[in-house]
């Protein structure tokens, strides 16, 4: 799905080659500061490498329309945004940005069930806890008709048991549609249980190898 070739990005990444497979769940792990978020940003074309190429389905993403690319490749950032308004407003915000039709309430409620968020659509979103807001942001992404989901620590605000349920529910839905997931997590349990392809970034990133040598 993605191919990173001869990448250099600032003093952060030096990756000779990294292949992200399609229709698989790749889980990126590595020490804090090893460059995981930076890799997701490259895949989403939020940043461009100083050197090297990022290919998406064989095409250089530098040549693709960034807006269209971000509709195909959706990213849930670590600091996910919650919009003013209700749970429903938040669920439909992503669809409106992506120019996609808003489904009926039943489908919106199903998305909430997939991420184990037991709240009604008319609940005010700013009254939700941090962990509930994180699940709401995940449900919002799940509703999008994307080819790839890039998730940056999507369960960081959840306890271990809830994180497991939520990630399992999200991935079940995504796998039914044969989509590709690239997820960053600090949870060993999530990485071990759900990675089709574990990607330990330090094995690919020459910069973090250099940093480890210096310590």
Ligand X SMILES: Nc1ncnc2c1ncn2[C@@H]1O[C@H](COP(=O)(O)OP(=O)(O)OP(=O)(O)O)[C@@H](O)[C@H]1O
- Phi then psi for residue 182, to 5 deg, are -125, 115
Question: Which segment (28-36, 100-108, 136-144, 157-165) binds ligand X by CB under 6 A?
Answer: 28-36
Comparing CA positions, the residue from 30, 35, 33 lying closest to residue 8 is 35
53, 56, 57, 63 alpha-carbon torsion, rounded to 10°: -80
38 counts as binding ligand X under rule CB under 6 A:
yes
- With respect to ligand X, which residue has the nearer C-beta, 117 or 190? 190
Residue count, binding to ligand X (CB under 6 A): 10
Q: Cα–Cα–Cα angle for 20, 74, 166, nearest 5°?
A: 85
Q: Which two tokens stand for residue 180?
A: 């590709």
109 or 152: whose CB is closer to ligand X? 152
CB closer to ligand X, 66 vs 127: 66
Interface residue with ligand X among 34, 92, 155, 205 (CB under 6 A) is: 34
Given a contact cutoff of 8 angstroms between Cβ atoms, the answer to whether 77 and 152 are in contact is: yes
Residue 32 binds ligand X, judged by CB under 6 A? yes
Per CB under 6 A, the list member of 16, 33, 113, 122 interacting with ligand X is: 33
- Rounded CA-CA distance 38/41 in Å is 5
Stretch that binds ligand X, among 19-27, 34-42, 93-101, 130-138 (CB under 6 A): 34-42
Sheet of 197-200: strand order equals 73-76, 148-152, 180-184, 25-29, 197-200
Interface region with ligand X, contact rule CB under 6 A, candidates 27-35, 64-72, 104-112, 137-145: 27-35
CB of 8 to ligand X, least distance (A): 13
Q: Which residues bind ligand X (CB under 6 A)?
A: 10, 12, 30, 32-38
């Amino acid at each position: 799905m993605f191919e990173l070739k001869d990448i250099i990005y600032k003093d952060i990444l030096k990756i000779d080659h990294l292949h992200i497979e399609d229709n698989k769940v790749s889980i990126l792990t590595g020490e804090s500061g090893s460059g995981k978020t930076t890799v997701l940003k490259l895949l989403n074309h939020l940043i461009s490498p100083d050197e090297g190429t990022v290919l998406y389905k064989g095409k250089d993403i530098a040549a693709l329309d960034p807006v269209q690319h971000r509709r195909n490749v959706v990213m849930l950032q670590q600091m996910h945004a919650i919009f003013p308004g209700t749970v429903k407003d938040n669920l439909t915000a992503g669809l409106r940005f992506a120019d996609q039709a808003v489904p009926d309430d039943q489908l919106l409620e199903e998305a909430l069930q997939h991420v184990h968020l037991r709240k009604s659509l008319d609940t005010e979103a700013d009254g939700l806890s941090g962990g509930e807001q994180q699940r709401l942001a995940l449900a919002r992404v799940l509703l999008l008709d994307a080819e790839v989901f890039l998730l940056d620590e999507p369960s960081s605000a959840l306890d271990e048991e809830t994180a497991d349920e939520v990630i399992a529910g999200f991935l079940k839905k995504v796998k039914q549609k044969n989509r590709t997931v690239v997820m960053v997590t600090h949870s060993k349990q999530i990485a071990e249980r759900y990675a089709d392809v574990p990607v330990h970034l330090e094995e690919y990133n020459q910069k973090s190898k250099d940093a480890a040598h210096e310590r």
